[in-house]
Amino acid sequence: MTDVIVVGAGPAGSAAALLAARDGLDVVLLERGPFPGSKNAYGGVVYGRVLDEVLPNWWDEVPVQRWVTRRSTMVLTEGRALTVDFRSTDWGKAPYNGCTTFRADFDSWLAGKAVEAGAQLVTSTVATGLVVEGDRVVGVRTDRSDGDLRAPLVIAADGVKSFLAKEAVLLPRTQAKHLTLGVKEVLSLPREVIDERFGVRGNEGVDVEILGCTRGIPGGGFVYTNRDSISVGVVVSVEHLAAAKVRAEDLVADLKAHPAVAPWVEGADLKEYTAHLIPEGGYDHLPPLSTPGMLVTGDAAGLCLAAGIWLEGVNFAIGSGLEAGRHARRIIETRDEKPYRAALEETFVLQDHKRLRGAPGVVLSERVQQQYPGLIADLVQGLFTVTNPTAKPGVVKLLRAAAKNNGVKLRHLMTDGLRGGKVFR
């Protein structure tokens, strides 16, 4: 008799299956791909702190490409770039901060942990719908010849388009304004060339998040280093992309051609191209996270932060999956799903979403996306351009000129500064 059916062996599903199986429950983990991660696309960095408690010393086993020891934030305008670059030797040793890893490797590894704990992984199997009795979900329909599977608890971890959450009327029909589109190229380069170009050694790696590279379409870009390839991509608002009639792959081409990025990718061969949707509704637009007999986790529940300078989803998927798995037994016994949401409110998953609920509104605002990159570049260029024989202009004069040149009023700078301070406090 199956106790829990987990649909989707991405990070959320495997984390849920892991803890439910460790609790002695009979768990079936369904995955539509031939193996976990085979269908999954993302940028490239996993922040694994969330695993410390459940998989101690996970860093000794995780299929890492490189440990992120440099985190840069770049602001680009055509022909100019300002980079704030942080480097830490702490991040290059245990317990580490984040690593680049491929999803085929990472998802297979995490699903393997659930299997070791006793979960049964069933691949190449699509959950095609829910089995519902009265107001309760009591199982899923599958595309296998042996058909439906029944259990007192279903955990939907089926990603951003979650047909299961939609069928249970937890998710509305897909709304473009709450989605971003991520597109990514993996470009192969010899390992020593990457080390040289990015100033890293051994298994050190770089995470670069970029603003001002999307032709004013709300979003951002990224560059991550793998062992012998680099990942370059953009994440942009679906609604604005469609309105601008721009192709996402052209934005990636722009990014690769920018003088600050072109030397990194020169001579690289395209190895892989992927595109995937990302939920970006934020805390104020979270769907209900459960219905009788079913919990929703990870991207299926909209638990992702992808607002320009962050691109984190795997850690939130694992965090929410762990809570679903941890509470599975109690939920089955009491037929009360509420403890799941309550537990999530106590963890970083909903606390971060709550604290940063206003962040997308600031980072993706028209001024931050379209005017501030130019303003910042003008200001910095003014500061560092040697104007002899004319005396150096003061910062206030430069700021006024940069604001005027980019159509920004000083009062907007003040209100945006205050708003930013409030959101990120």
Ligand X SMILES: Cc1cc2nc3c(=O)[nH]c(=O)nc-3n(C[C@H](O)[C@H](O)[C@H](O)COP(=O)(O)OP(=O)(O)OC[C@H]3O[C@@H](n4cnc5c(N)ncnc54)[C@H](O)[C@@H]3O)c2cc1C
Q: Which of 369, 347, 281, 96 has the alpha carbon at shortest distance from 207?
A: 96
Q: How far is CA 39 from the centre of its chain?
A: 16
Quick one: which of 39, 66, 80, 256 contacts ligand X (CB under 6 A)?
A: 39
Which residues are bridge partners to 237 per DSSP?
Answer: 180
CB of 300 or CB of 307, closer to ligand X:
300
Do residues 76 and 373 touch, judged by C-beta distance below 8 A?
yes
What mask of x and - would describe binding to ligand X in positions 218 to 237, judged by CB under 6 A?
---------------x-x--
Q: Which of 255, 242, 352 has the alpha carbon at shortest distance from 307?
A: 352
Place of tokens 């049964």: 120
Which residues are bridge partners to 69 per DSSP?
Answer: none
CB of 265 to ligand X, least distance (A): 17
* Site for ligand X, residues 234 to 263, rule: CB under 6 A: 235
Quick one: which of 6, 11, 211, 241 contacts ligand X (CB under 6 A)?
A: 11
Q: Residue 82: in which H helix or E strand, if any?
A: strand 80-87
What mask of x and - would describe binding to ligand X in positions 172 to 201, judged by CB under 6 A?
----------x-x-----------------
Quick one: which of 41, 122, 244, 423 contacts ligand X (CB under 6 A)?
A: 41
69-77, 80-88, 213-221, 309-317 -> range binding ligand X (CB under 6 A) = 309-317
CB of 155 or CB of 375, closer to ligand X:
155
10-18, 211-219, 251-259, 401-409 -> range binding ligand X (CB under 6 A) = 10-18
Determine, following the binding rule CB under 6 A, whether residue 48 of this chain makes contact with ligand X: no
CB of 21 or CB of 403, closer to ligand X:
21
Quick one: which of 3, 158, 209, 280 contacts ligand X (CB under 6 A)?
A: 158
Determine, following the binding rule CB under 6 A, whether residue 312 of this chain makes contact with ligand X: yes
CB of 4 or CB of 9, closer to ligand X:
9
CB of 358 to ligand X, least distance (A): 20
Determine, following the binding rule CB under 6 A, whether residue 8 of this chain makes contact with ligand X: yes
CB of 362 to ligand X, least distance (A): 20
H-type alpha helices, 168-313? 191-198, 238-244, 248-257, 262-265
34-42, 171-179, 212-220, 250-258 -> range binding ligand X (CB under 6 A) = 34-42
CB of 111 to ligand X, least distance (A): 9
Residue 88 gets which letter from DSSP? -
- Classified as helix, coil or strand, 173 is coil
Do residues 139 and 149 touch, judged by C-beta distance below 8 A?
yes
Determine, following the binding rule CB under 6 A, whether residue 44 of this chain makes contact with ligand X: yes
Residue 413 backbone phi and psi in degrees, to 5: -60, -45
Determine, following the binding rule CB under 6 A, whether residue 31 of this chain makes contact with ligand X: yes
Residues shown for the chain: 425
Residue 343: partners with Cβ closer than 8 Å, 6 or more residues away? 323, 326, 327
Rounded-to-integer distance, Cα 268 and Cα 279, Å: 31
Determine, following the binding rule CB under 6 A, whether residue 308 of this chain makes contact with ligand X: no
Rounded-to-integer distance, Cα 318 and Cα 323, Å: 9
Quick one: which of 29, 151, 153, 157 contacts ligand X (CB under 6 A)?
A: 157
30-38, 240-248, 252-260, 347-355 -> range binding ligand X (CB under 6 A) = 30-38
CB of 193 to ligand X, least distance (A): 22
Do residues 27 and 64 touch, judged by C-beta distance below 8 A?
no
Do residues 29 and 14 touch, judged by C-beta distance below 8 A?
yes
Residue 307 gets which letter from DSSP? S
Q: How far apart are the first and last CA of the chain?
A: 49
Rounded-to-integer distance, Cα 346 and Cα 237, Å: 30
Determine, following the binding rule CB under 6 A, whether residue 154 of this chain makes contact with ligand X: no
43-51, 112-120, 130-138, 354-362 -> range binding ligand X (CB under 6 A) = 43-51
**Where on the chain is the footprint of ligand X (CB under 6 A)?**
7-13, 30-33, 39-46, 126-127, 157-159, 163, 182, 184, 233, 235, 276, 278, 298-300, 304, 311-315, 317
